[in-house]
Structure 1
Amino acid sequence: MKRLLKITFILLFTIILLLGFAVPVNMSNGTWYQQFFPNLNGRVISDITFIDSLNGFAVTRLSSTNDTNYILKSTNSGDNWSIVYRQYTYSIAPFNKVKFLNKDTGFVGGNNLLKTTNAGLNWIALPLPAGSYSEDFYALNEDTLWFADHIPFDGGLFRSTNKGINWERQYDAGPAPNPDHVYMYNARIGFMTRSSNLLYKTTNSGVNWFTIPG
């Protein structure tokens, strides 16, 4: 009986070994395939987001000064893209982030902060404090918006609680580099970075910030 089991085991192992060499390994990309944007004339995509399985938005980074930023939209899962907004700028500030709260309301940050309420059909520029631009932003909801600008003196961390009509500086580093990224978990708790290696946290809506060691 033991001999029969041993022979059976050897035969089974041999069959598995032979099948392993005989069956080719599938090295394809599975369900991944390459998609293409229209000709962007040297511009690169700086951020991309999808509202659902079909509708997505992408934004571009400038290739030089005196150039045009693009907002692109896809309605068929990224298979085709069309340019829905162009913004000419004298500076090198790119479109750096796109975020949607729902299928209609979204924001794009960069040289200024743009907003749409009709799924990207039209965009309006929200007024920012003089001398600042949206290096990073976070839209907690349609009313409460945050943006960061690392430039000393004019920059800082700003918050609006009335849809971007007015802004209040929540952090100012003076002559030192100001915050360059911001994320809010809710209305009270949030995080920001300075110089990309200093992490801060607030638990009172940005009134006070303390460093997180790491």
Structure 2
Amino acid sequence: ARIVKTTDAGNSWYVVNRTGLTDTIGLINRFFFINPTTGWAVTTRGGILKTTDAGENWFAQLNAGANVIFQSIHFVDSLYGWTAGGRPYKTTDGGDSWVQQTNTTIWNSDDVYFQDINTGWFGKYSSINNSLFKTTDSGINWDPILEVTGARKFYFFPDPIHWFIIGFSRYYITNNFGNSWLEFTEEVPTGLVSFSAPNDKLGYFVGNLGLILRYDDTTYVPVELTSFAANVNGNNIILNWSTASELNNKGFEIERSTNKTEWEIIDFIEGNGTTTEISNYTFTDNLYENNSQKLFYRLKQIDFDGTFEYSNILEVEVGTPSEFFLSQNYPNPFNPETKIDYRISEETFVNISLYDVTGRKIKELFNEKKQPGYYTIKLKGGELSSGIYFYRLTTTSGYTAVKKLTIIK
């Protein structure tokens, strides 16, 4: 389990420091770096190592035993990570503590990837049965992806909207963050074993018997949308969005809906073609009717060759609410932060407090006089233990509502 490093593009290599492993026979199975200085490595005999100085020094965070074969490791951020191989382990504190996930039925997994703290995938070692599993609740439940058989290893473009699965002589691609999969086994030679992509449009497979296969992604729209937000000013909805870079960007269609099913094109804003500079855009939707309503907006970014990609959907509330309302927090379950939406239809004092399952008041989240409107508060769960809680909204005008939330760490 020696680790060697280069700082001159591979012209020379040296052995770095490694401490704390009780079993040094195991091989390194996978590295994962969340940034240039912080990374982890897993071994074939139960070891998890971490570095915080770009790999100069590695220290053991877990010695799970020689019979535990770690196949892979993935972190969403500097705190939240999972392992694959045997029964998975999970951490929510950067690896200072690892908890084996005894509630899952997934064993002998080959790879793991989490898009965010709630949504993740496991590739399970099987050539005939369901082998790709997805969770949307931070690993509490896992559902099989029926169209994928024989999943083993995951490989990504820099933009993870599209990634590959290389399995038991079967290969799959997603172009929508893993929501659907297309098998391309019959379109390529057999024996693919690994993939690497230097950018979002170009990648290379390597395989058995010296096989090298180039992949050109003609569907990817290389416009990096970094923000998309909406503000309400009276009856005007002001949309603002920014791009970090653009390549062949014809522009943006602005679409509006009242139900997220039927969309209306309300305008088109020209793009900046090709640029590496930050570009800022704005559009104002003038609503002439003074009605309280909920609207949805999205952008359709269009390339000069006609290819396109949709942004995320924004939800906007317009006008004075006709009634009081307390929403379910989102995300739920959550860690480390969640949001709570509420609306009030008249001027009143508003109190929102958090309670444990015994009814004991834990903390007061909000207590102020508010004008009619739509509001959002944030709840950070850092100081709270995992479990079920309740939050209650009360007003001096007589409205009361209670919702349940769950914290998972």
TM-score between both structures, scaled by the size of structure 2? 0.37
Residues 1:86 and 2:63 are matched in the alignment:
yes
Which of the pair is proportionally richer in strand? 2
Tell me: CA distance 1:41–1:34, structure 2 relative to 1, closer, same or farther (3 Å): closer
**Deviation of 1:179 (Å):** 1.5
**Deviation of 1:207 (Å):** 6.9
**Deviation of 1:211 (Å):** 2.2
Residue of structure 1 in register with 2:40 after alignment: 57
Please give the alpha-carbon distance, in whole angstroms, between the structure 2 residues aligned to 1:49 and 1:204.
23
**Deviation of 1:80 (Å):** 2.2
How many residue pairs match? The answer is 173
1:192 is paired with a residue whose SS is strand
Residues 1:145 and 2:128 are matched in the alignment:
no
Residue of structure 2 in register with 1:3 after alignment: none
The answer to which of 197-206 and 136-145 deviates more is: 197-206
Which of 10, 23, 35 lines up with 2:16 in the alignment? 35
Residue of structure 1 in register with 2:27 after alignment: 44
Deviations along 1:26-65, one digit per CA (max 9) or x if unpaired, are xxx7785431324643111111123334322111013xxx
**Deviation of 1:180 (Å):** 1.3
Q: Which amino acid aligns with 2:43?
A: T
Which of the pair is proportionally richer in helix? 1
**Structure 1 alignment gaps of length 5 or more:** 1-28, 63-68
**Structure 2 alignment gaps of length 5 or more:** 1-9, 189-409
1:37 is paired with a residue whose SS is strand
Residue of structure 1 in register with 2:165 after alignment: 192
**Deviation of 1:160 (Å):** 0.4
Deviations along 1:63-100, one digit per CA (max 9) or x if unpaired, are xxxxxx0111123332222211121364xx62111222
Please give the alpha-carbon distance, in whole angstroms, between the structure 2 residues aligned to 1:44 and 1:97.
12
1:135 is paired with a residue whose SS is strand
Alignment of 1:14-29 (within 5 A): none
2:32 is paired with a residue whose SS is strand
Q: Is the 8 A contact 1:43 1:61 kept in 2?
A: yes
Alignment of 1:102-121 (within 5 A): 102-121=77-96
The one of the two structures with greater contact order (alpha-carbon pairs below 8 A, sep at least 6) is 1
Residue of structure 1 in register with 2:154 after alignment: 182
**Deviation of 1:164 (Å):** 0.6
**Deviation of 1:202 (Å):** 4.0
Q: Is the 8 A contact 1:147 1:182 kept in 2?
A: no
Residue of structure 2 in register with 1:160 after alignment: 135
What is the alpha-carbon root mean square deviation over aligned residues?
A: 3.1
Q: Which amino acid aligns with 1:87?
A: A
Please give the alpha-carbon distance, in whole angstroms, between the structure 2 residues aligned to 1:190 and 1:171.
18
TM-score between both structures, scaled by the size of structure 1? 0.67
Residue of structure 1 in register with 2:48 after alignment: 71
Identity of aligned residues (%): 26
Please give the alpha-carbon distance, in whole angstroms, between the structure 1 residues aligned to 2:122 and 2:154.
7
Which of 170, 175, 181 lines up with 2:145 in the alignment? 170
Deviations along 1:127-167, one digit per CA (max 9) or x if unpaired, are 3326x332111111111110111325665110001001001
